[in-house]
């Protein structure tokens, strides 16, 4: 099993979610996060004074998939979350040791 974490632009969330649903993903967890990468922050003016916004709002998606499905999911996110402009985000894929469904106690791939 793999955990796929994708940090994407917030306005892309719906598009990504729908595309993932189409390729058979049945669940995901999202978190509203802030951060910066190469995009850095940007400056704004408030009452004539400049200020920099260092951490930009992003959405982080967490998905658990069987190993064989990981590359398809990564490709789907890559295609839908991409704008081509700086700040599109990143995808992390990590192995997962165990998954347990709390309600039934199922383990492993059955619990996904």
Q: Contact positions toward another protein, by CB under 8 A?
A: 44-51
40 vs 36: CA distance, rounded Å: 5
Half-sphere exposure of 35 (CA within 13 A, CB side): 17
Give the shortest CB-54-to-another protein separation in angstroms. Answer: 9
Contact residues for 59 (Cβ-Cβ < 8 A; gap 6+):
7, 8, 9, 10, 12, 13, 30, 31, 32, 33
CB of 50 to another protein, least distance (A): 7
Q: Minimum distance from CB of 81 to another protein (Å)?
A: 25
Question: How many other C-beta atoms can be found within 10 angstroms of the C-beta atom of residue 49?
Answer: 7
Residues facing residue 91 across a β-bridge:
6
User: Which pair of structure tokens corresponds to residue 112?
Assistant: 């996904």
CB of 108 to another protein, least distance (A): 35
- Residue with Cβ nearer another protein (53 or 78): 53
Nearer Cβ to another protein, position 49 or 102? 49
Q: Which is nearer to another protein, 59 or 63 (CB)?
A: 59
For another protein, the closer of residues 47 and 103 by Cβ is: 47
């Amino acid at each position: 099993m793999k955990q796929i974490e994708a940090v994407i632009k917030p306005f892309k969330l719906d598009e990504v979610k729908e595309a993932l649903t189409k390729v058979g993903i049945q669940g995901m967890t999202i978190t509203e996060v802030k951060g910066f990468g190469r995009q850095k922050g940007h400056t704004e003016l408030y009452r004539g004074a400049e200020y920099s916004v260092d951490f930009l709002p992003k959405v982080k998606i967490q998905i658990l998939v069987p190993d064989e499905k990981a590359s398809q999911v990564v490709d789907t996110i890559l295609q839908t979350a991409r704008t081509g402009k700086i700040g599109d985000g990143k995808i992390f894929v990590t192995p997962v040791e165990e998954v347990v469904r709390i309600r039934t106690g199922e383990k492993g791939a059955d619990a996904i």
